[in-house]
Amino acid sequence: MQPRFLGQGSLKVSSLGFGCMGMSFSYATQLSTQEGFALVRGAVERGVTFFDTAEVYGPFVNEAVIGEALAPLRDKVVIATKFGFDIDPATGENRGVCSRPEVIRRSVEGALKRLRVDTIDLLYQHRVDPDVPIEDVAGAVSDLIASGKVRHFGMSEPGVQTLRRAHAVLPVTAIQNEYSLWWRAPETNGILQACDELGIGFVPYSPLGKGFLTGAIDKETLTDGDFRKTMPRFAPEAIEANRVLVDLLSRVADDKGATLAQIALAWLLARRGYIVPIPGTTKIGRLEENLGAADLVLTTDELSRIEQAANQIQIVGNRYAPQHEALVGREAVATSAVRKSHD
């Protein structure tokens, strides 16, 4: 894979990364530690250098597996993780969104140990805490960068004004927002425009629509324990209505001699040179299929065909249940004060 660069060329990664969440969190099927090792190391062998995890995945379990799997390969990879929840270190209880500076510091100290690293390559705020001025969050991460514990600052699902305010305090290397053919809000809510203007990289999560764009999901697919069953977009009637988007990808894939997943990922890669999708999987075969998108070039005519057809499709169903929808795309409180002390 040809490399791509996040944050004005400051962070070099593979053009497709690996989203590690599904190995141990949110889906009904989870991998054993040894299966996780094999998958992660298999990804490195196939050219992936960018791995995405988070404290809350487990909690803690995902970071620990990634840390152990990548420890012998540390000089070959970039590891991203996230803070943003108040998680009890002893019990793993998630007490909710929290980006107080002392919680950020505690999260980073734990992540460093679990990931078996001296420095976290890319540290995201997982979700915006509206009760903590974003200037204080950026300031706390700036302190961690100054101390050598973090290299780059990122944000996941910020509102555009919060992103701009954070970047004014500490340059944001990358944002991680949902973006795919069935969730195109970044094109209209100002996020992509801000990335263009400020030189911020974009890391789309769920680039395959949480599996829907692969064509492998129907109303009978999801089992108990799969978090997608809580999402309006995965209600049986929504799955049936949204099949039209899968049909579009199927037509393009047939003409191109590719798979649906490869077309969906290649479309994203063509949107911007600084876009680095992070599809996740639990299967080596799916991993290899996804990575094939890095070598797939969609012509101008093919991209136009996809665009014109997709613009005629009305996607049915919200992407999250209300309690989770409230956590994405939101703004932190505004403040005119100079950065507060973090002591």
Q: Work out the angle between the directed axes of helices 33-45 and 284-291 (0-180°, nearest 10).
A: 30
Given a contact cutoff of 8 angstroms between Cβ atoms, the answer to whether 87 and 96 are in contact is: no
Measured distance between the N- and C-terminal CA atoms of the chain, rounded to whole angstroms: 44
Q: The tokens 């009978």 sit on which residue? A: 220
User: Which two tokens mark 245?
Assistant: 């988007």
Q: Is 234 left (phi over 0), alpha (psi -120 to 50) or beta?
A: alpha
Composition of the chain by helix, strand, coil, percent to 5: 45, 15, 40
Pairing label, strands 11-14, 120-125: unpaired
Amino acid at 274: Y
Q: 48-73 burial, b for 16+ CB within 10 Å, e for fewer?
A: bbbbbbbbbbbbbbbbbbbbbbbeee
Q: Which of 57, 124, 205, 274 is catalytic?
A: 57
H or E element in which residue 286 lies: helix 284-291
Q: Can you tell me the distance from the alpha carbon of 180 to that of 182, in angstroms, rounded to the nearest whole number? A: 5
Q: The tokens 């390559």 sit on which residue? A: 121
**Among 340, 334, 342, 330, which residue's Cα sits nearest to residue 128?**
330
Catalytic-residue membership of 57: yes
Q: Which residues are catalytic?
A: 57
